Amino acid sequence: MKNIIFPLIAMLWWAGASAQSVVSSGFPELDEWTGQCLADRPYALGYPGNYDGNLDGFYKWYTANNLGDVLINNAGDPFEKSGALSSAKFERDVIEYFAPLYGFDTSDLWGIVTMSGTDGNNHGIYFGVNYLKNKTGKMPVVYVSDEAHYSNYRLCDVQNLDVKLVKSDDMGRMIPGELEKSLDPTRPALIIYAMGSTFKGAVDDQKALQEVFDRHPEIPVYRHVDAALFGGYLPFTEYRNLVNRKEMAFESISISGHKFFGIDSPCGLFITTRNIYDNQNSFDVPYLNANMRMINCSRSGTDPLKFWWLTKTIGVDGWTKQAKAMMDNTQYLMSELRRIDWPCWNNTYSNTVFFRRPSDQIVTRYNLANSHDERFGGNLSHIVVMQHVTREMIDHFISDLKNDEPCERK
C-alpha cells in the first residue's frame, strides 16, 4: 500500500503546485485545451523544448503597442537594405550577436533567422550543394549519420540529392571508418555533422571525421553542422569549441530557437560566411528590389524580435547559468536512475538520458520519446533535461519509476 500511496501524494502535490488558472476566452473548447496545456507542461520530459522561455515581458510590450495588428515580414536579405514593416535590422543584430559564439567573424558573415531547425538544415544543404557545384561543376554526394535527425535525409530527398547514410556506433556517433568506406572519390562531399542525434544525443566527432577527408585531398568538402538543441547550450559550457568553426572548420551551422532559447514557436538560426553566400545562385527580384539567394521568400519578422529581446534580457550570463543547471541536473538524473538500478545511458556533452522503457502509463504521463535498440536490451525511452526539468521534477519521476514495471520486449 505504501508503494502506491507515496507516488499518488507526490503527484497530487505536484499538480497543485504547478496548476495555473485559465483566463477565459469565451470559447469553452479553447479554454479546455489551454487548461490541458498548463497541466501537461511540468511533465513534458521527452522532447527538447524549454518551457521556461521568459517571453512574458516581450508579449506585454508587443500587445501594448498593438503589434498584433501589424504584419512584419522579413522578405529579402537582412544584410541588405530592407523595406518598410520589416525587422531586418534586428534580425541582422541577432546574427551578429550569435555569430562570434560559433566562431564566425563579423567581417565575413551571413545568416538569417529561420522558421525552424529543418529550415536551417535545408539552407545548409542547399548552400552546400550550390557552393560545391559552382566550384567544381559536379553535384556532391551527401553523407550523414544513420542516427542524425530525419530532416537531413528527408531534405536530401526533397532536393533530389544522392545521400549515403553512414553507420553509427552503439552510442549514435558516425563511425569514421564507415565514412571512409562510403566515400565516392569522383564527386565532392557534403557532410552533415549531427551535433546531438535525435534519440541518444550523440555528437559526431568532427576532428576524427575531418581526418578521413584529410586522407582524401582530391575530394572537395562542405561541412554543415546540424546543431539544433546542442547548438543552443554548448556555447555556454566548457565544451563550446565543439560548435566553434575556428576549431572545427565547418562552413555553416543551424541552431534551433524553440529548444534551449525557449522561443514559443519553431524558429532558429542559420549562420554561414559571406563567401559561401556570394557563391550561391543569384536571383534578382525587381518586385522586392532584392537578391533572393535564400530558399524562403517571406520570413517571420516577429521571431527575430523575440531573439533580440532574449539577448537583452537573458544574454550570455543568464544562458551560462541555465546551461550549467541543465548539465548538473542531467548528471543528477543519471545518478538517481542508477541508484534504483534502472539501466540508463548518456553521451558526453549531452543533456539527453536514454534508459530502459517503463510502462505505457509512465510514458504517457511524462510524454516520453521512445525507440528500440537491441544493443541496449530492446525498448528504450529518453528524457531531455531542459530548463524546466528541475531536481524536484526528477525526484517525482524517480518515485513513480521505482514502483513501475518496464515495458515488455517486442
96: which 3 cell numbers? Answer: 551578429
At 217 the pLDDT is 97
394: which 3 cell numbers? Answer: 526528477
How many CA within 13 A on the CB side of residue 199? 23
pLDDT grade, residue 16 (50/70/90)? very low
pLDDT(220) > 70: yes
Q: What is the rounded CA–CA span in Å between residue 38 and residue 49?
A: 14
Instruction: Give the start-to-end residue ranges of the domains of the chain.
Output: 2-44+321-402, 68-313
- pLDDT above 90 covers what percent of the chain? 85
pLDDT(287) > 90: no
Burial of 284 (0-12, 13-18, 19+ CB in 10 A): exposed
Element spanning 303, H or E: helix 302-313
- Residue positions counted in the chain: 410
CATH architecture of the domain 68-313 equals 3-Layer(aba) Sandwich (3.40)
pTM: 0.92
Grid cell 553509427 in the structure block, residue: 168
Q: What is the DSSP letter of 33?
A: H
At 373 the pLDDT is 96
17: which 3 cell numbers? Answer: 503546485
pLDDT grade, residue 2 (50/70/90)? very low
Q: How far is CA 164 from CA 174, 188, 296, in A?
A: 12, 13, 26
Grid cell 522586392 in the structure block, residue: 288
Q: What is the rounded CA–CA span in Å between residue 117 and residue 258?
A: 9
Contacts of 11 (CB under 8 A, 6+ apart): 396, 400
pLDDT grade, residue 47 (50/70/90)? very high
SS3 254: strand
What digits encode the pLDDT tens for the residues 390-402? 999 999 999 999 9
* Nearest by Cα to 167 from 145, 200, 137: 145
Mean pLDDT of 15-33: 79
> What's CA 30's distance to the chain center, in Å?
29
Helix count and strand count (H, E) for the chain: 15, 13
Q: Which residue has the higher pLDDT, 121 or 287?
A: 121
- The CATH number of domain 2-44+321-402 is 3.40.190: no
Q: What is the rounded CA–CA span in Å between residue 59 and residue 306?
A: 9
Beta bridge partner(s), residue 13: none
Do the Cβ atoms of 186 and 236 come closer than 8 Å? Answer: no
* Nearest by Cα to 259 from 389, 96, 132: 389
Arithmetic mean of pLDDT over the chain: 92
Mean pLDDT of 165-170: 97
pLDDT grade, residue 348 (50/70/90)? very high
Q: How open is the CA angle 279-109-280, to the nearest 5 degrees?
A: 15
Burial of 191 (0-12, 13-18, 19+ CB in 10 A): buried
Element spanning 14, H or E: helix 2-18
Do the Cβ atoms of 243 and 225 come closer than 8 Å? Answer: yes
Element spanning 189, H or E: strand 189-194
